[in-house]
């Protein structure tokens, strides 16, 4: 990064990874400009605040953020406790965002709609590396403003872009017009969103952990509101991947959750439809009819899409990116996390080199850096931003030595058919993800440029 430019570094998104990036920038004497679309920091996590994380506090805190917080008298939560999403926001992200050092550099209600090189479109190469970036922002006051920055760290996550219900990667026909019948991906069916689900016919689509969590919560709701009907559509020919191994499962949390779903199906409390690839939705006055490719139909009042997430690449249309063609993660990272082949693998810690794109000083970090793979862990993201910020500060040595204390872990995509045999430490809660975490941490580290293999442990 050309420090002589004396411009800030844009951080897109004030989630845990964006705020961590800001803390690292401050430690390095660089100036963050944090742009958050939501009204508060942690706006995406706030949407799933009722879900418990599967990794304990010790892996959910960034070291630079903690140093900043502790200087103001903040006390860290019990390291082994498993927080709910809401606790992560209330007890960590909100206090962090409120610190004067962060608050003065954080703009909320600031949605980034485009990133480009100032005065250059994607085709221009001459002087590209030394040209600042323009970040276009739609502000909550209705104004659209361009911000000139020296570098960009995109930590905007994937929460705002759920995968469509259609099986081909496209929205099912009629999905857009049926939008008012489709809920958020992880509704709080026994709490905040109860009224929309109580006594209704609810169709859950998908075979990941978010589906399992929603199904069991709906079953809890149905006990109190017996009119509630639970339908469940999965694309594959069985729900075995969600059930896991029951009590004998190598992953106790997955086994428990999956076992409970299986019992609910067997007891007739959940109506399971296998081999159901959604092709169209027809919104009627009283309900929505969901049709499968083979012509079967299901009527529901509400559809819960548990179909995973994908990155918003539209805002990066003018940036030169190098992405894995399948996963949409940085090219070198993609093969290491592709859920079709790595249902449960330890991703080597990686930093600036692996996350770099042809446009110098531009990085995608955090959940978004994993593209369509559902296996991201916060601890990985914190190490990403430590390395990226070191690289931006010109400290190549620190950027290249990537170390990570992680639970000896892989996170399984149950949609991809988890086959992990590492015992889990905690309750699975992720979106289409189960945690294959062993209780003891493992410290791994190597220069990022060399890290193509799987790290030891899994």
Ligand X SMILES: Cc1cc2nc3c(=O)[nH]c(=O)nc-3n(C[C@H](O)[C@H](O)[C@H](O)COP(=O)(O)OP(=O)(O)OC[C@H]3O[C@@H](n4cnc5c(N)ncnc54)[C@H](O)[C@@H]3O)c2cc1C
Asked if residue 172 lies in contact with residue 276, where contact means CB atoms within 8 angstroms, the answer is no
Rg, C-alpha atoms of the chain: 22
Is 102 a binder of ligand X (CB under 6 A)? no
Is 13 a binder of ligand X (CB under 6 A)? yes
**Residue 178 burial by CB count (10 A; 0-12/13-18/19+): exposed, middle or buried?**
buried
Q: How many other CB atoms are found less than 10 A from the CB of residue 91?
A: 17
| Residue closest to 94 by CA, chosen among 14, 9, 186, 214 | 14
**CA 316 and chain centroid, separation:** 18
The smaller minimum CB distance to ligand X, of residues 16 and 349, is found at 16
What 8-state DSSP symbol labels residue 73? T
What 8-state DSSP symbol labels residue 60? T
Which one of 11, 89, 212, 315 is in contact with ligand X (CB under 6 A)? Answer: 315
Partners of residue 271 on adjacent β-strands: 231
Using the contact rule CB under 6 A, the part of the chain among 101-109, 157-165, 348-356, 390-398 near ligand X is 157-165
Using the contact rule CB under 6 A, the part of the chain among 7-15, 222-230, 286-294, 384-392 near ligand X is 7-15
Asked if residue 209 lies in contact with residue 432, where contact means CB atoms within 8 angstroms, the answer is yes
**CA 179 and chain centroid, separation:** 22
Is 189 a binder of ligand X (CB under 6 A)? no
Q: For the window 196-225, what string marks contact with ligand X as x by the rule CB under 6 A? A: ------------------------------
Distance CA 192, CA 181 (A): 17
Smallest distance from ligand X to CB 97, Å = 10
Which one of 174, 258, 330, 381 is in contact with ligand X (CB under 6 A)? Answer: 381
The residue number with the shortest CB distance to ligand X is 15
Number of residues that bind ligand X (CB under 6 A): 37
In degrees and rounded to multiples of 5, residue 190 shows phi and psi of -100, -5
Which one of 25, 151, 155, 288 is in contact with ligand X (CB under 6 A)? Answer: 155
Using the contact rule CB under 6 A, the part of the chain among 29-37, 62-70, 257-265, 292-300 near ligand X is 29-37
Asked if residue 380 lies in contact with residue 374, where contact means CB atoms within 8 angstroms, the answer is no
Residue 197, helix vs strand vs coil? helix
**CA 403 and chain centroid, separation:** 22
Sign of CA dihedral 65, 67, 69, 75: positive
Smallest distance from ligand X to CB 23, Å = 13
Is 36 a binder of ligand X (CB under 6 A)? yes
Is 35 a binder of ligand X (CB under 6 A)? yes
Distance CA 273, CA 204 (A): 10
Smallest distance from ligand X to CB 405, Å = 13
Is 23 a binder of ligand X (CB under 6 A)? no
Our CA angle for 97, 100, 106, nearest 5°, is 50
Using the contact rule CB under 6 A, the part of the chain among 16-24, 193-201, 216-224, 439-447 near ligand X is 16-24
Which one of 17, 182, 385, 402 is in contact with ligand X (CB under 6 A)? Answer: 17
The smaller minimum CB distance to ligand X, of residues 133 and 276, is found at 133
Of 37-66, binders to ligand X (CB under 6 A) are 37-38, 43-45, 48, 51, 53-55
The smaller minimum CB distance to ligand X, of residues 162 and 229, is found at 162
| Residue closest to 65 by CA, chosen among 13, 17, 23, 14 | 23
Of 394-433, binders to ligand X (CB under 6 A) are 429-431
Which one of 8, 95, 157, 407 is in contact with ligand X (CB under 6 A)? Answer: 157
The smaller minimum CB distance to ligand X, of residues 276 and 382, is found at 382
Return residues touching ligand X (CB under 6 A): 12-18, 35-38, 43-45, 48, 51, 53-55, 111-112, 155-157, 159-160, 186, 315, 366-367, 376-378, 381, 429-431
């Amino acid at each position: 990064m050309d420090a002589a430019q004396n411009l800030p570094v844009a951080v897109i998104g004030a989630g845990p990874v964006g705020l961590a990036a800001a803390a690292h920038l401050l430690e390095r004497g660089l100036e963050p400009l944090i742009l958050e679309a939501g009204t508060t920091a942690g706006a995406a996590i706030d949407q799933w605040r009722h879900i418990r994380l599967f990794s304990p506090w010790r892996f959910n805190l960034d070291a630079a953020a903690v140093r900043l917080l502790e200087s103001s008298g903040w006390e860290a939560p019990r390291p082994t406790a498993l927080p709910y999403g809401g606790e992560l926001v209330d007890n960590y992200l909100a206090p962090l965002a409120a610190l004067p050092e962060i608050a003065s550099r954080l703009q909320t209600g600031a949605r980034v709609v485009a990133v480009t090189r100032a005065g250059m479109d994607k085709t221009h190469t001459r002087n590209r590396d030394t040209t600042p970036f323009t970040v276009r922002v739609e502000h909550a006051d209705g104004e659209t403003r361009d911000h000139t920055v020296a570098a960009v760290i995109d930590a905007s996550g994937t929460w705002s872009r759920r995968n469509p219900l259609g099986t081909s990667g496209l929205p099912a026909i009629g999905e857009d017009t049926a939008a008012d019948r489709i809920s958020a991906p992880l509704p709080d069916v026994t709490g905040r969103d109860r009224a929309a689900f109580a006594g209704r016919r609810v169709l859950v689509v998908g075979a990941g952990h978010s589906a399992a969590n929603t199904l069991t919560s709906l079953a809890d709701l149905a006990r109190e509101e017996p009119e509630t009907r639970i339908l469940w559509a999965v694309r594959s020919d069985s729900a075995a991947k969600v059930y896991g191994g029951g009590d004998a499962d190598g992953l106790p949390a997955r086994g428990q959750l999956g076992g409970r779903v299986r019992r609910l199906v067997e007891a007739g409390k959940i109506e399971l439809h296998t081999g159901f690839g959604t092709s169209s939705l027809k919104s009627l006055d009283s309900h929505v009819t969901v049709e499968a490719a083979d012509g079967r139909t299901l009527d529901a009042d509400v559809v819960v899409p548990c179909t995973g997430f994908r990155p918003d690449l539209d805002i990066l249309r003018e940036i030169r990116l190098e992405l894995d063609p399948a996963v949409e993660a940085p090219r070198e990272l993609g093969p290491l996390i592709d859920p079709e082949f790595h249902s449960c693998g330890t991703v080597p810690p990686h930093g600036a080199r692996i996350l770099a794109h042809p446009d110098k000083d531009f990085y995608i970090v955090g959940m978004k850096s994993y593209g369509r793979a559902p296996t991201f862990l916060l601890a990985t993201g914190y190490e990403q931003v430590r390395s990226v910020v070191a690289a931006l500060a010109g400290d190549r040595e620190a950027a290249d030595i990537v170390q990570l204390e992680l639970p000896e872990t892989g996170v399984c995509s149950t949609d991809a058919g988890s086959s992990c045999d590492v015992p889990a430490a905690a309750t699975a809660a992720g979106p289409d993800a189960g945690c294959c975490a062993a209780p003891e941490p493992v410290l791994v580290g190597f220069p990022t440029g060399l890290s193509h293999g799987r790290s030891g442990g899994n």
